[in-house]
A and B are shown apart, each in its own frame.
Chain A
Amino acid sequence: MDSIEGDVRRFMADNFILDESAGPLDGDESLTQSGVLDSMGVLELILFIEERFGVHVPDEDTLPQNLDTVDRIVGYVRSRLAEGGGNGAL
């Protein structure tokens, strides 16, 4: 598990009530369909991404294809960092 994924999973575990008996979240599990994230949770996730990785998440990027699974979040953060939008905090 790389640092970005570890940070995202830690954020999920610290901020949302997860069903621990179900084991760790699958990387491709929908966070909204599984009830982990509601719209308030999405707001918190965006703030986390912006503060932890120093990348701005513009309105047009607030899409399920960027933020609805752990894998997508990691991929989105990685691509934004590659664009040079990050703070180099990793």
Chain B
Amino acid sequence: MRSDAEALSAEVLRLEDPDATVDAIAEGLRHEVAAFHRKGAVVALSGGIDSTVVASLAARAFGPERVLGVLMPEADSSPDTLRLSRLAADSLGIPTVLEDITPLLEAAGCYRRRDEAIRRVVPEYDASWKAKLVLPSVLETDRYRLFSIVVEAPDGRRESARLPPAEYLQVVAATNFKQRSRKMMEYYHADRLNYAVLGTPNRLEYDQGFFVKNGDGAADVKPIAHLYKTQVYQLAGTLGVPDEIRTRPPTTDTYSMPQSQEEFYFSLPYDKMDLCLYAVNHGLSAETVAGALGLTPEQVERVFRDIASKRRVGRYLHAAPRLLGAVEGAVR
């Protein structure tokens, strides 16, 4: 008999029949989009694994000619984002539209409002500097996970400072213009073509609230929200996603300094996070996970607490508008 530690490995997440999973999702997409009386799909392409897999599934469901890939770089985007987005679209043969959202963000004051807040903490910061938000590692300390701003001067000098509440909220609120502007653009094209908008969160992101409410959290269908990221990678292989996209490290691509998803949000690299989330969902002990992942039980307990904490925060992010009285017959 296998022990729990042996049982907990990436194998528990392996899709037994990925071709059947692809077929089921494609069928589900056709069903849901038809129910909305829409006739195709819009997918925002980021050059990452999730959006490429969603676009690929949509191409299977509707045919490539009825999937529109929307490319939406902005001033802080990595050059790789646009290049790999084009690579994804070309590999699928889907049409694309390029929407540089930088002027939209400038008009909304995204960069100005963000930089104002950063300058209140780092007075010498200006538009020639780069910045990112980071969290302390959950593995190394019991400290609360409080965001710090890291800034880099043009000469490479770096500073870091914990953000007070007002400045933290303003940096996040201003940065959220990016995800919300992109979603507005996606719906423009969806409305223009009578298509549905597909969301690209994987299970880790959906469960842990790694999205902006009414930004990248908004969509008509979220076809991979039930799949662990490990499984998304497995589907990427089945779907023939280009190697360069499959090997690109996950990134937020939101701040001007390169930022991994671990330093911004998750406690661990995605493959280990997947297994911790699986363990929480299946009632496995911290000791079991620790043995499988090479961590201490105390470290795994901290990850479990972080998962629970993010789920509490996520309730607001997932919540539909609450009504305070009955509205009979309005929604069927």
Interface residues of A (CB under 8 A from B): 32, 35, 38-40, 42-44, 46-47, 59-60, 62-65, 67
What CA separation (Å) do A30 and B188 show in the bound complex?
47
B136, B144, B168, B312: the one contacting A64 at CB < 8 Å is B144
- Given A59-B136, A67-B144: A47 touches B309 (CB 8 Å cut-off): no
The yes or no answer to B180 lying at the interface (CB within 8 A) is no
B312 and A43 contact, CB distance less than 8 A: no
What B residues does A44 contact at CB under 8 A?
A: 165
**Choice from A32, A42, A65 contacting B146 with Cβ under 8 Å:** A42
Instruction: Name the distance in Å between A63's Cβ and chain B's nearest Cβ.
Output: 5
Q: Which residues of A contact B142 (CB under 8 A)?
A: 63-65
Report the bound CA distance from A42 to B142 in whole Å: 14
Is B168 in contact with A43, judged by CB distance below 8 angstroms?
A: yes
Chain A contact residues, majority secondary structure: helix
Interface members, chain B 146-180 (any A CB < 8 Å): 146, 148, 162-165, 168-169
Name which residue of chain A comes closest to B169, CB basis: A40
Alpha-carbon separation in the docked complex, A38 to B163 (Å) = 15
Contacts of B148 in A (CB 8 A): 59
For the complex formed, measure the closest distance between the CB of B139 and the CB atoms of chain A, giving whole angstroms: 15
Given contacts A35-B312, A59-B136, contact A42 B164 (CB under 8 A): no
- Which residues of the other chain, A, contact B164 by a CB distance below 8 angstroms? 43, 47
With A42-B146, A62-B143 known to touch, is A47 a contact of B313 (CB < 8 Å)?
A: no
For B141, list chain A residues within 8 Å (CB). 63
| 5 nearest A-B pairs in the assembled complex, by CB-CB distance | A43-B165, A42-B144, A62-B144, A44-B165, A62-B143
B contact residues around A63 at 8 Å (CB): 141-144
CA A30 to CA B309, docked complex, whole Å = 14
CB-CB under 8 A from A40, the residues of chain B are 165, 168-169
Q: Is the CB of A47 within 8 A of B312?
A: no
Q: Are A38 and B309 touching (Cβ within 8 A)?
A: yes
B:10-65 near A, CB below 8 Å: none
Q: Mark B95-135, 1 if CB is under 8 A from A, else 0.
A: 00000000000000000000000000000000000000000
Cα A71 to Cα B209 in complex, Å, equals 32
User: Chain A residue with minimal CB distance to B136?
Assistant: A59
Provide the B76-99 mask, 1 if CB < 8 A to any CB of A, else 0.
000000000000000000000000
Whole-angstrom distance between the alpha carbons of A40 and B164 in the complex? 10
* Bound Cα distance A64, B163 (Å): 19
Task: Provide the bound-state CA to CA distance between A39 and B313, in Å.
Answer: 9
Check A38/B146 contact, CB under 8 A, given A43-B164, A47-B165, A59-B136: no
Please, how many angstroms separate the alpha-carbon atoms of A46 and B313 in the complex?
Answer: 20
**CA A38 – CA B145 in complex, angstroms?**
10
CB distance from B137 to the nearest CB of A (A): 12
Q: List 27 A-B contacts (CB under 8 A).
A: A35-B312, A38-B312, A38-B313, A39-B145, A39-B146, A39-B309, A39-B313, A40-B168, A42-B144, A42-B146, A43-B163, A43-B168, A44-B165, A46-B146, A47-B164, A47-B165, A59-B136, A59-B143, A60-B143, A62-B143, A62-B144, A62-B146, A63-B142, A63-B143, A64-B142, A64-B144, A67-B144
Most buried by A among B142, B146, B148: B146
Check if A43 sits within 8 Å of B313, measured CB to CB.
no
CB of A51, distance to nearest CB on chain B (Å): 10
Report which residue of A38, A42, A59, A65 has the largest number of chain B beta carbons within 10 angstroms of its beta carbon: A59
Q: How far is the CA of A43 from the CA of B170 in the complex (A)?
A: 14
Could you say which residues of chain A place their CB within 8 Å of the CB of B144? 39, 42, 62-64, 67
